[in-house]
Structure 1
Amino acid sequence: MNTPRNEYPRPQLVRKDWVNLNGEWDFSFDDKKKGKKEKWFSQFPEPVKKINVPFAYQTELSGINDQSFHDMVWYRREFEVPGSWNEKRTILHFGAVDYRAWVYVNGHLAGFHEGGHVSFTFDITDYLTGDTESLVVRVEDPSTDETIPRGKQFWVQKSDSIWYTRTTGIWQTVWLEAVNPVHFSKVRFTPNVDQGEIGIDFEVAGEYEGKRAGIEIRFKDELVARDSIEVLEPFNKRSINLYNRKIFRTGFHHDGWNWTPENPNLFDVKLVLNDDTAILDEIDSYFGMRKIHRENGMVYLNNKPYYQKLVLDQGYWPQGLLTAPTDEDLKKDIELSKKMGFNGCRKHQKVEDPRFLYWADRLGFLVWGECAASASYSEDAAARLMREWIEIIERDYNHPSIVAWVPLNESWGIPGVRANKQEQHHSLAMYHLVHSLDPTRLVISNDGWELTKSDICAIHNYSHGNKDETAKYEEFKESLATKESLLASQPARRKIYANGFEHQGEPILLTEFGGIGFKIGEDAGWGYTSVSEVDEFIDDYKRIMEAVYSSKALHGFCYTQLTDVEQEINGLLTYNREPKCDLDVIKQINDMWHSEIVKG
């Protein structure tokens, strides 16, 4: 097998010394859960299957393509550490493993991680032999447990309704990295658009005394700032003013260098850690000067009202499920969305690969970051979600494209939140937890309905009806028309706010609607309404959007959805990303909305 997904997997913190471990691994199901007792981490069982990492065994690209339940699986591969790494520490990285992972190096347990959606690392230096090394990963993914964060992964074997095929095991890149015993272990960028400053926080691991950190910031290849910091403690902070730099005084003031979807300006950063004799660590990164806040019932981007035209993006592919077949596929989804006139997406029930966020940063595309939800509430489920979110924000904080976090959706995992005080406390806890970790972005407490405390009043409504259901359409249009009608509506027979909570002036956005079912070729499935011809599809999209345009209270939307997914045929694109109509026509409709807003 050729090594798949061979691009650098962590674009926010790039080092030169790394080795990709994707490609062919040995693989085995452990349905009787005997592998640990039989020490498969030392003696892998025969016969051996082969799997193409990072694709889950349920996918075509894995080479196995088995969608049946297997709750325990094992992986093995051998590798060699470059000789030039002998004086360095070897760090083993996993992009994501769903759901629990035990990692063994040369028969030794190197570490354990629970949580299926974000990255984790282990320092494996002390387990290496200096020869051919053995890496074994044991994974448990309970197929029917409704209290783990599952997202759209169905706990019944066959996909149905809004639920899709499961992803078990390794589904993002596995890689090695060499670091000096003294190195940067964390870097965080916090833009302050109002002051024209970038806050840089960094952490140094190892013997930091007597070390210096150098920072170079460039904009469009021109040097903007250079700084040198004596490292006096493990955690260090620096704020660098950019307004007063010569380059900005001569033509790039304010709007000329802030990050927006229309002008995705980025600053490139090099961080160098050294002592009196040598460079100890060197990292390439970037940041964007971007501010998001709410005021006067509107969302503001860089202190200007900004109407968000988002598309719901599930992030599934027919050959790879949660894993994009190539880096180009991640980029293509953004390009197609922008071609249709959308300025961002709500990445639905999935923590997306950092490469997607990289392309969103580079191409200019707003992202609402969301996490897979559990299906049921329990104290364990609440704790699991909280742990996931701590890791999500740790990983993705630096991406300027992310403007909002969505920790809960449609009361999934909190089915009694309308009146249940414990579940309301969980919703409030998630809102405040996320804000305590990231004060720079908006947080939506329970996207769809039954909101508690929230920065955006996010409403879902699919009740637009088919073309001939004129009364239903008029009712839908009327429900969007004013703030009062929006707040009084009960989509899916759910109140917009949970008992004891009410609208506090936050911006109102229609964050799920549409979902026109349109069958292409032999595809079969469902949508919230249906059409049979291209012209009908375009007319229905325009009809629905006109109801949104006419609202005097909505300050943004998120249309369902970008692509078909398995049995859902309600995308603007097919599952294979083929347009269902001329995408320029969709853009004309979206731009017509913009013209109406400007005129208003």
Structure 2
Amino acid sequence: MVTKTNDKTTTTTTNTYKRTEYPRPQFKRDAWMNLNGTWKFAFDDDNKGERNGWAKHPSFATDINVPFTYETKASGIGDETFHPNVWYNRTFTIPEEEVGKRIILRFQASDYMTKVWVNGTYMGDHVGGNAAFSFDITNAVDLTGKNQLVVKAEDSQSCYQPRGKQRWKEENFGCWYVQNTGIWQTVWLEFLHPERIENVKITPNIDTNSVAFDYKLHSFSGCKLETIVSFEGKQVKQFSITPDRANMSFEVDLLSDIMEWRVAHWSPEHPHLYDVTFRLIANDEVVDEVHSYFGMRKVSIKDGQVLLNNRPIYQKLLLDQGYWEETMLTPPSDEAMLEDIEKTLAMGFNGVRKHQKLEDERFLYLCDKKGLLVWSEMAATYEFSDEAIENFTKEWLEIMQQHYNHPSIITWVPFNESWGVPNIFKDKKQQTFTESIYYLSKSIDAERPVIVNDGWEHTISDIIALHDYEELGNVLYERYKDKDPILNNEIPHNNHKYAFADGYSYKGQPVMITEYGGIAFDHESGWGYGNQVNTEEEFLERYRNITDAIKALPYVTGYVYTQITDVQQEVNGLLTEDRTPKIALDKIKEVNDA
């Protein structure tokens, strides 16, 4: 059964925004309860709440609309001042039909350290603002009455924590925006048997027409594990294994008569998805059933080209920071995310570089369905230290494991523009750190390219990704037409940064211009790159000239235009913050398709 709350918010603004969708579409169960909606809320600037027993006796006067942070209008609060400690409280009851199961409390994301109490009992904490986490709260729950859930989120303005584009000063500056504090993605309960499937890592192999499943079970004694793969409603494969350990792997041949090619590949033109159901059976009873999906696709590199399914692909991407005017980093709805995807495609782009943000899994699900390519980029720290290394590495590992199965993700980007490694050009410690993250990433995912360090000063990197905001197309072309001086580190590629860190050299990798453009259009305040343009004709002439210059470079295999929307003071989007096009979408598409 699907069990959901129907909390009503208390203001017109918050009534507009409700996140009721199942938050994890790649690992979906039926028995769950959405805890989004109206919670009680309090600031704790003096950090006195734990000393004064707020966890056991919450008495918070303010309403907040979860999962929108207090800084957003959608939360019903809209206070952009930084507060280091915030508290949340709500009650819930366990449906009668779920009594007897394990009760798992899940957070899709909360920024930055999150502490949780149920009925006054401390459940634990999680550090990191972007990854999902959970607690088994069964032993603290009253199965017959109301339960008190209390959450404290601790944030800071430290540059040692991965913060992405969140400012660490009191006011916005440059390309850094209002901070994001506390719960910012869905909170929910799941009801499970002790015997259950914790996770399944799915790895397609189009060269052998097979897919590998790496299962992680919570308990398995006396159980049978059944997997059913189907395509467009037709069963392709079904098999069962008897687990003898918690971690097991199985590879299955997918060849079948479902279509003329016998295996359906995933691509932007044909985003075919296979459905898969996992069942854990004990004593002839299904004790756990999970619905998932996967795409049969391959990402590889050969002869200076990125290949998708063994064919070169020219990537035309948009920089996408995933901000909305009234909800900031939290997507307001499925419809809003789908609108961004469809407008991106309508402008002739085939993907997005999700910039300094780990996006909502439902966005990735929609990209999987629509065939939009995604570069998944880590939120940066801004200073280098042992603490920053630990914070970054732990969270990056969680994120890669969480998002691994999405076929739309074709590139990992752990570092951008030397943020968090500011002296990487010469500093061996910082260089070695980026190497360690590269190899850690490859140990989790051997296939997808990993970019270290997007923009400039690369160490080990599968793609050489260069940033250049030159506004004149002819100047851009002249600068890059001879690749050797740039890729041999003889000259800075954008007049101020070298392509490689000192001691590293070009090894024949694909080259892309992964930030360019950033044209601001007739705006009284805010900024863009270069001079603002005043008319559609001026914009299109500049956009066409710089884009054509990149496409005329035979060794460059793609580009990333900055950016899809305006974001607060940065007004260089192709769309405004409310997603109104500044230029007719088909005119942008004409340039990209030329």
- Name the TM-score class by shorter chain: over 0.9
Distance 1:307 1:482 in 2: 20
CA contact (8 A) 1:71 1:140 kept: yes
Question: Is 1:222 matched up with 2:230?
Answer: no
**Residues 76 and 457 (structure 1 numbering): CA distance in 2 closer, same or farther, change over 3 Å?**
same
Q: Match of 2:201? A: 188
CA contact (8 A) 2:201 2:213 kept: yes
Q: 2:570 aligns with which of 568, 571, 584?
A: 568
Question: Is 1:252 matched up with 2:264?
Answer: no
Q: Match of 2:155? A: 141
Distance 1:474 1:537 in 2: 16
Q: 1:420 aligns with which of 411, 423, 427?
A: 427
**Residues 39 and 167 (structure 1 numbering): CA distance in 2 closer, same or farther, change over 3 Å?**
same
1:288-316 Cα distance to aligned partner (Å, 9 max, x none): 00100100010000000111111100010
Q: Match of 1:98, as an amino acid?
A: D
Distance 1:584 1:128 in 2: 55
> How far off its partner does 1:23 sit?
0.4
Q: Match of 2:81, as an amino acid?
A: S
Question: Is 1:499 matched up with 2:502?
Answer: yes
Q: Match of 2:552? A: 550
Q: Match of 2:258, as an amino acid?
A: I
Q: Match of 2:36, as an amino acid?
A: N
SS of structure 1 residue aligned to 2:476: helix
> How far off its partner does 1:236 sit?
1.3
Q: Match of 2:32? A: 18
1:367-419 Cα distance to aligned partner (Å, 9 max, x none): 00011101111111011110011100111010000011000000000000000
Q: Match of 1:96, as an amino acid?
A: A
What are the equivalent positions in structure 2 for 1:407-486 lying under 5 Å apart?
407-465=414-472, 473-486=473-486
Q: Match of 1:546, as an amino acid?
A: D
CA contact (8 A) 1:55 1:172 kept: yes
SS of structure 2 residue aligned to 1:538: helix
Q: Match of 1:367? A: 374
1:530-568 Cα distance to aligned partner (Å, 9 max, x none): 101111111111111111121121011111111110011
Q: Match of 2:591? A: 589
Distance 2:286 2:122 in 1: 32
Q: Match of 1:580? A: 582
Q: Match of 1:127? A: 140
1:23-78 Cα distance to aligned partner (Å, 9 max, x none): 000000000110010010011245x1110000000000000000012011000000
> How far off its partner does 1:14 sit?
0.5
> How far off its partner does 1:485 sit?
4.8
Distance 2:171 2:289 in 1: 48
SS of structure 2 residue aligned to 1:324: coil
1:302-339 Cα distance to aligned partner (Å, 9 max, x none): 00011111110001001011001111111111111001
CA contact (8 A) 2:486 2:498 kept: no
Q: Match of 2:289? A: 282
Distance 2:324 2:98 in 1: 37
Distance 2:544 2:147 in 1: 59
Q: Match of 1:562, as an amino acid?
A: I
Q: Match of 1:389, as an amino acid?
A: W
CA contact (8 A) 1:188 1:201 kept: yes
Q: Match of 1:536, as an amino acid?
A: E
SS of structure 2 residue aligned to 1:392: helix
Q: Match of 2:573, as an amino acid?
A: G
Distance 2:530 2:94 in 1: 53
> How far off its partner does 1:480 sit?
2.4
Question: Is 1:324 matched up with 2:331?
Answer: yes
CA contact (8 A) 2:469 2:518 kept: yes
CA contact (8 A) 1:528 1:570 kept: no
CA contact (8 A) 2:232 2:274 kept: yes
Structure 1 runs of 4+ with >6 Å offset: none
SS of structure 2 residue aligned to 1:458: strand
Q: So what's the TM-score if we normalise by structure 1?
A: 0.94
Distance 1:246 1:546 in 2: 44
Identity level (%): 43
CA contact (8 A) 1:199 1:240 kept: yes
What are the equivalent positions in structure 2 for 1:74-113 lying under 5 Å apart?
74-113=87-126
Q: 1:43 aligns with which of 37, 57, 74?
A: 57
Q: Match of 1:32, as an amino acid?
A: D
Q: So what's the TM-score if we normalise by structure 2?
A: 0.95
Distance 1:529 1:310 in 2: 23
What are the equivalent positions in structure 2 for 1:158-197 lying under 5 Å apart?
158-197=171-210
CA contact (8 A) 1:519 1:525 kept: no
Distance 1:253 1:482 in 2: 45
Q: Match of 1:118? A: 131
> How far off its partner does 1:440 sit?
2.1
Question: Is 1:241 matched up with 2:250?
Answer: no
CA contact (8 A) 1:201 1:236 kept: yes
> How far off its partner does 1:475 sit?
3.0
SS of structure 2 residue aligned to 1:187: strand
Structure 2: runs of 5 or more not aligned: 1-8, 10-14
> How far off its partner does 1:484 sit?
1.7
Q: Match of 1:567, as an amino acid?
A: Q
Q: Match of 2:212? A: 199
> How far off its partner does 1:523 sit?
5.8
Q: Match of 1:239, as an amino acid?
A: E
Question: Is 1:533 matched up with 2:535?
Answer: yes
> How far off its partner does 1:529 sit?
3.2
Distance 2:448 2:85 in 1: 38
Q: Match of 2:6? A: none
Distance 1:302 1:226 in 2: 25
SS of structure 1 residue aligned to 2:58: coil
Distance 1:380 1:524 in 2: 34
> Please, what is the CA RMSD of the aligned residues?
1.3
SS of structure 2 residue aligned to 1:518: coil
Q: 2:268 aligns with which of 234, 254, 261?
A: 261
Distance 1:66 1:438 in 2: 40
Distance 1:349 1:519 in 2: 26
CA contact (8 A) 1:371 1:406 kept: yes
Q: 2:47 aligns with which of 18, 30, 33?
A: 33
SS of structure 2 residue aligned to 1:162: coil
> How far off its partner does 1:223 sit?
1.0
Distance 2:480 2:165 in 1: 28
Distance 1:69 1:205 in 2: 40
CA contact (8 A) 1:407 1:445 kept: yes
CA contact (8 A) 2:476 2:546 kept: no
Q: Match of 2:519? A: 516
1:126-176 Cα distance to aligned partner (Å, 9 max, x none): 00012100100011110x211111110011111121111100000000000
> How far off its partner does 1:204 sit?
1.3
SS of structure 2 residue aligned to 1:476: helix
